[in-house]
Amino acid sequence: MKTDSPHILCVNPWIHDFAAFDFWAKPLGLLTLAAIMREKGITVSYIDCLDRFHPREPSQMKVLWDGRGPFRKTQIDLPQGLENTGKKFSRYGIKPQWFKEDLEQINKPDIIFVTSLMTYWASGVQETIEAVKEVYPDIPVVLGGIYASLCHDHAAKNTLADLVIKGPGEHQLKNIIQKFTGFELDAGNLPDVNIPDVEISGVSDVPGISNRVNDLDDLPFPALDLQNKIVYAPVLTSRGCPFSCEYCASSYLEPKLRRRSPENVFKEIEHWHYSHGVKNFAFYDDALLVNAGKYAFLLFEKIIASKMDLFFHTPNALHIREITRKAADLMFEAGFKTIRLGLETTDFSADRSHDVKVAENEFFNAIAHLKAAGFEEKQIGAYLLCGLPGQNLDDVEASVQVVKHAGIIPVLAYYTPIPHTPMWSDAVKQSKFNLLEHPVFTNNTLFPCVNSSRDLARISQLKNS
């Protein structure tokens, strides 16, 4: 057994896309693994290819009051099969030369962990790993994250990663580190996950970790301090979602709803605020307000009592039916500034083609509660799904009107076909692209399941209406 502590490099890869903007996007999973490893005495380095504040950045990138801002953008060739779209395709993030120099400047790592987010950013992940391998051809690269979990075989075939893992990484850390370095990590109280279909490809001979506990409070706070600058902090108070919408992979990625205690979340918010001056926080939860009396309300009450002057944002939609008057009042008092509601459609009929998450009166009541609490119209947006397989755009247009009439902002959310979701097979059948060929064809900017040019023109009208 090797006892020398290894050096592990964590990398957040480039994005390849038609458009990208930092809407409070941080690789929380990777930074949580970094924090665990650091806590266990492992030396951890971090290179963020999406760093808006890289020291070589000549002019400071623009930062909005809420921490969001643009990534550096470099136009690159359109992917094969999309050459005739007339669109511009870009790499978002730091210059390749800066990445190479950053890789050369650190001590040689023993393992390199690369994360991944959107499935259709696959080629950005591929390019990142190629760049890593140019500098460290003999160092094992482990790829995890959402693309790796949802498109495991594609990632295994099309990247130079030595190992592609599915699902949350915490419970796989010990085996991975042991396999590649011989170092015995004290798995201690790392949380368990119970995900069907999780496997560690290439290390199937390594047995699982014993003594697991299932308590997210045991995890250290994600190592946001490894970044060059912290302009906002993402916060995750829970993992998983009690719903299973047909287009969403939440229940595949996190089959059980698990919560952190309000005390633990509050400590994290205090930590980033007092130790690093962070004022803006983005909740990443899929289910922030579910069972709020036991969780979210206690957290909000603590924040209010602390008198910290903070701003909160909910880029992942809130569940509308959970927005009671009490929830709205507490969110307003705690400092929530951006409210996004998961509406999908205003077709509230029971026989509509997709599942009904919210009833008409629940939607209007929620808006009334938010406004009575003090939220302004411009702070409240309702996500409306657009571009679903076989969707009648009359419904989308009607929903936009209802939302506007209700006095809040309609936010069109363009459908991305995602493997392992119930809607995936319909999307594959109805798409104008071969979605099975490459994840890039699932990019929602391409409206993969909208086949007529008339409908495409209508969507852009709706977008600009």
Return the residues of window 34-93 that contact ligand SF4 according to CB under 6 A.
none
Q: Which is nearer to ligand SF4, 269 or 343 (CB)?
A: 343
Contacts of 282 (CB under 8 A, 6+ apart): 24, 67, 232, 233, 234, 235, 312, 313, 314, 315
Q: How far is the CB of 289 from ligand SF4 (least distance, A)?
A: 11
Residue 301 CA, chain-centre distance (Å), reads 27
Q: Which is nearer to ligand SF4, 44 or 241 (CB)?
A: 241
Q: Mask: binding to ligand SF4, 234-263, rule CB under 6 A, as x and -?
A: -------x-xxx--x-x-------------
Q: Which amino acid is at 297?
A: F
- Dihedral sign from CA coordinates of 256, 262, 264, 270: positive
| Residue where the block lists tokens 């089959």 | 255
Using the rule CB under 6 A, which residue among 22, 48, 286, 395 binds ligand SF4? 286
Q: Give how far Cα 264 sits from Cα of 171, 218, 250, 291, 311, Å.
A: 21, 9, 23, 17, 19
Q: How far is the CB of 243 from ligand SF4 (least distance, A)?
A: 4
Q: How far is the CB of 241 from ligand SF4 (least distance, A)?
A: 3
Q: Which is nearer to ligand SF4, 128 or 250 (CB)?
A: 250
CA angle 167, 155, 141 (to 5 degrees): 80
Q: Which is nearer to ligand SF4, 27 or 342 (CB)?
A: 342
Q: How far is the CB of 317 from ligand SF4 (least distance, A)?
A: 6
Q: Which amino acid is at 19?
A: A
Q: How far is the CB of 17 from ligand SF4 (least distance, A)?
A: 21
Q: How far is the CB of 240 from ligand SF4 (least distance, A)?
A: 8
Q: How far is the CB of 86 from ligand SF4 (least distance, A)?
A: 32
Supply 341's token pair: 């509601």
Task: Give the DSSP letter string of 229-268.
Answer: --S-EEE-SEE--S---TT--HHHH--S-EE--HHHHHHH
Q: How far is the CB of 408 from ligand SF4 (least distance, A)?
A: 18
Q: How far is the CB of 65 from ligand SF4 (least distance, A)?
A: 27
168 is a contact residue toward ligand SF4 (CB under 6 A)? no
Task: Give the DSSP letter string of 387-401.
Answer: S-TT--HHHHHHHHH
Q: Which is nearer to ligand SF4, 209 or 248 (CB)?
A: 248
Q: Which is nearer to ligand SF4, 124 or 342 (CB)?
A: 342
206 is a contact residue toward ligand SF4 (CB under 6 A)? no
Q: Which amino acid is at 198?
A: V
Q: How far is the CB of 40 from ligand SF4 (least distance, A)?
A: 31
Q: Which is nearer to ligand SF4, 34 or 396 (CB)?
A: 396
The answer to whether the CB of 173 falls within 8 A of the CB of 142 is: no
Task: Give the DSSP letter string of 19-43.
Answer: ---BSS---HHHHHHHHHHHHTT-E
Task: Give the DSSP letter string of 107-120.
Answer: PPPSEEEE----GG
342 is a contact residue toward ligand SF4 (CB under 6 A)? yes
With H, G, I as helix, E, B as strand and everything else as coil, classify residue 453: helix
Q: Give how far Cα 212 sits from Cα of 77, 186, 209, 255, 258, Å.
A: 46, 11, 7, 17, 15
Q: Which is nearer to ligand SF4, 159 or 250 (CB)?
A: 250
Q: Which is nearer to ligand SF4, 69 or 422 (CB)?
A: 422
The answer to whether the CB of 414 falls within 8 A of the CB of 447 is: yes
Q: How far is the CB of 228 from ligand SF4 (least distance, A)?
A: 31
Q: Which is nearer to ligand SF4, 172 or 314 (CB)?
A: 314
Closest-CA residue to 413 (of 362, 329, 343, 324): 343
Contacts of 249 (CB under 8 A, 6+ apart): 146, 150, 418, 419, 420, 421
Q: How many residues bind ligand SF4 (CB under 6 A)?
A: 8
Phi, psi of 113 (to 5 degrees): -95, 125
Q: Which is nearer to ligand SF4, 116 or 316 (CB)?
A: 316
Residues found near ligand SF4 in the complex (CB under 6 A): 241, 243-245, 248, 250, 286, 342
